[in-house]
Copies of this chain bind each other. A is one copy, B any other.
Amino acid sequence: MRRPTMTDVAREVGVTAKTVSRVLNDDGPVAVETRERVMAAVRKLGYQPNLMARNMRVGARDAAIGLVIPEMGNPFFGTVAGGIESAVRARGLTLIVGSSSETPELEQSLIAAFLARRVSALMIVPSAASDHRHLRSERVAGLPIVFLDRPAVGLTADSVVSANRAGARSGVAHLISYGHRRIGFVGDVPAALYTRRERFQGYRDALEAAGLPFDRTLVDTGHDADAAAQATLRLLALPAPPTALFAGNNLAAMGAVVALAKSGRKEVALVGFDDLPLAEVLDPPLTVVAQDPEAIGVAAAERVLLRLDGDRSRARGTLVPTRLIVRGSGEQPPRG
């Protein structure tokens, strides 16, 4: 009933564990006949090597990379993970993923779980309000750590993030180029999260570059799609409502789309940050500043692989460019 060990296989064949080890690891010479008998015994007993024991003996870390994402169901993070996985797989590394549910406590306990399993590297999409000072000793010990989507807090480390500020700026500039002067911002509380701060800054950058005033009343926020829809309705109900909206994230964009559709205000121009699956079949089709989650994952994986290869140069921040996808909703001129 016990799971067979290398010794069990050895006994079955009538050799020593070391010989079995040699066969399994292609290490050192072994007679052809012995090899075959060992392999037969391995199959017969259903032997599975114990990676934990192996890694411990070799003193090596586990050939796995730990990835922490805030949310599994979010296709953005899922696609990031997919990009990482395909990039590290070629190197024989296994990606193991855990989700923090956007809470610092779970993030920390996940990181601890990965460290306890002696992963070869850590990749982290930080949750809001988390702090990474506790990882300093790991950094010093040479463990590769890369932060994705949002930079580390309290720690100097590699990071790979979207060009949030430049992207938002280009989206708002796009609206301005179509003649809009009153552009609303629908998003999430800017202060909480790095990406939101950056995108909000990009919004202000674009206004400033065009010589337009910043009007705080044109900024409203909501945590999810429903709340964003409410925020949109409030903006439209202003005495001097905006003629265009910029949505700071995909949930905000969904909320805005729903609100505009249900209130029959489809003439209001809209540009969203982050693409949506059905953006092109909406009425009007949604113009977005698209991120490239797969590219973020691949870039982060390449950085980790470099570090694993011994690159000890100083921490680097990588910006992954965004792309403006013109579909219709952002090219409607001001009305009313």
CB-CB < 8 A to A50: which residues of B? 56, 116, 118
Complex Cα distance, B283 from A294, in Å, reads 30
Asked whether A254 is an interface residue with its Cβ less than 8 Å from the other chain, the reply is yes
Complex Cα distance, B261 from A257, in Å, reads 17
Q: How large is the interface on A (under 10, 10 to 19, 20 to 34, 35 or more residues)?
A: 35 or more
Asked whether A306 is an interface residue with its Cβ less than 8 Å from the other chain, the reply is no
* Interchain CB contact (< 8 A) of A81 among B3, B85, B99, B294: B99
Residue of B nearest to A134 (CB): B46
Query: What's the nearest-Cβ distance from chain B to residue A92, in Å?
Result: 10
Indicate whether A52 sits within 8 Å of B62 (C-beta atoms), given known contacts A73-B75, A75-B73.
Answer: yes
Residue of B nearest to A225 (CB): B277
Tell whether, in the assembled complex, residue A99 and residue B85 are in contact, meaning their CB atoms are under 8 Å apart: yes
Complex Cα distance, B99 from A20, in Å, reads 31
CB-CB < 8 A to A55: which residues of B? 52
Query: What's the nearest-Cβ distance from chain B to residue A332, in Å?
Result: 17
CB-CB < 8 A to A78: which residues of B? 71-75, 77-78
Asked whether A108 is an interface residue with its Cβ less than 8 Å from the other chain, the reply is no
* Interchain CB contact (< 8 A) of A75 among B74, B106, B280: B74
Task: Give A278-309 interface residues, CB cut-off 8 Å to B.
Answer: 278, 280-283, 293-294
Tell whether, in the assembled complex, residue A56 and residue B46 are in contact, meaning their CB atoms are under 8 Å apart: no
Asked whether A318 is an interface residue with its Cβ less than 8 Å from the other chain, the reply is no
Residues of A within 8 A of B (CB): 1, 3, 46, 48-53, 55-56, 62, 64, 71-75, 77-79, 81-82, 85-86, 89, 94-99, 101, 106, 110, 112-113, 115-118, 137-138, 141-142, 254, 257-258, 261, 276-278, 280-283, 293-294
Please list the 3 inter-chain residue pairs (A to B) with the smallest Cβ-Cβ separation, ordered nearest first.
A46-B137, A73-B79, A51-B116
